[in-house]
Copies of this chain bind each other. A is one copy, B any other.
Amino acid sequence: MNSAADLARPHDQIRPVEIECGYLESNPASVLYKSGKTIVLCTASVETNVPPWMEGRGKGWVTAEYNMLPGSTSPRKRRDRSGKVDGRTTEIQRLIGRSLRAIVDLHALGERSITVDCDVLQADGGTRTASITGGYIALSLAVSQLASNPELDPAVDPAAVLRDSVAAISVGVIGEDVVLDLDYKLDSAADVDMNVIMTGSGRFIELQGTGEEATFDDAQLAELLRLGKMGIADLTQLQAAQLRSS
């Protein structure tokens, strides 16, 4: 694919999304998030302490781990068991963690840690943005559970902990076209790839635009940002609808 001409959907429209909250019976804060063929299982786990370097500050912590299951790709992806998490994995899980923390009031959370695990069951492009978008829902469910725990004193106020929502989407330049929400095939064809991470209220959390062996100009940047904002708006609506009904 050297242009977006063959794209089955309009170039400014995201892939179909399916969200299943409470997928694991043992953890209500578990979300099976599907974006097209990409499937990510996001689970949020709460611990009643924080990492040693944060103790005694009256603040909580939110972090994320990302992993692709071996069967999520074809050919099979080798497991990260060498003791060296590969560079791509490290970058992605740091990005997910930063993005989630940007909308959390860590003081309102209290001295608790929430780990959001994003395990990719099937990978067809956009696994990092799906992890952020689905991870926010898992995080939100975990905070709601904390809020409904009558034993916590002081009680956790979910509206105070989560100051906003967060969603993420990719956009890319393919030949002359700018396309929203790159699946694996589009991503492979893209000259420039940008991840847009924004709050539900429309502010930027993170922008990562990369031209591997390519570059882009001001006009392309403007169009990338325009499409990215459209995608974020759609995802924000889907997240809100899902959380209202859980």
A interface residues (Cβ-Cβ under 8 A, vs B): 24-27, 30, 37, 39, 41, 43, 45, 47, 65, 67, 69-76, 79-85, 87, 90-91, 94, 98, 101-102, 106, 115, 117, 119, 121-122, 124, 164, 194, 199, 202-217, 221
CA distance A119 to B71 in the complex (A): 9
* Contact indicator A206/B211 (Cβ below 8 Å): yes
**Chain B residue contacts of A210, Cβ below 8 A:** 98, 205-206
* Contact indicator A69/B117 (Cβ below 8 Å): yes
* Contact indicator A69/B207 (Cβ below 8 Å): no
* Contact indicator A117/B71 (Cβ below 8 Å): yes
Are A71 and B87 CB-contacts (below 8 A) given A26-B122, A37-B26?
no
- Interface majority SS (helix, strand, loop, mixed), chain A: mixed
> What is the oligomeric copy number?
6
CA distance A34 to B117 in the complex (A): 21
**Chain B residue contacts of A25, Cβ below 8 A:** 37, 122
CA distance A245 to B33 in the complex (A): 28
A244 to chain B, nearest CB (A): 24
CA distance A138 to B8 in the complex (A): 32
**Chain B residue contacts of A106, Cβ below 8 A:** 213
In-complex Cβ contact of A98 among B41, B94, B101, B212 (8 A):
B212
**Chain B residue contacts of A84, Cβ below 8 A:** 83-85
* Contact indicator B204/A211 (Cβ below 8 Å): yes
A66 to chain B, nearest CB (A): 10
List the B residue with the shortest CB-CB distance to A93.
Answer: B87
CA distance A41 to B23 in the complex (A): 14
A5 to chain B, nearest CB (A): 25
**Chain B residue contacts of A207, Cβ below 8 A:** 194, 207-209, 221
CA distance A39 to B121 in the complex (A): 13
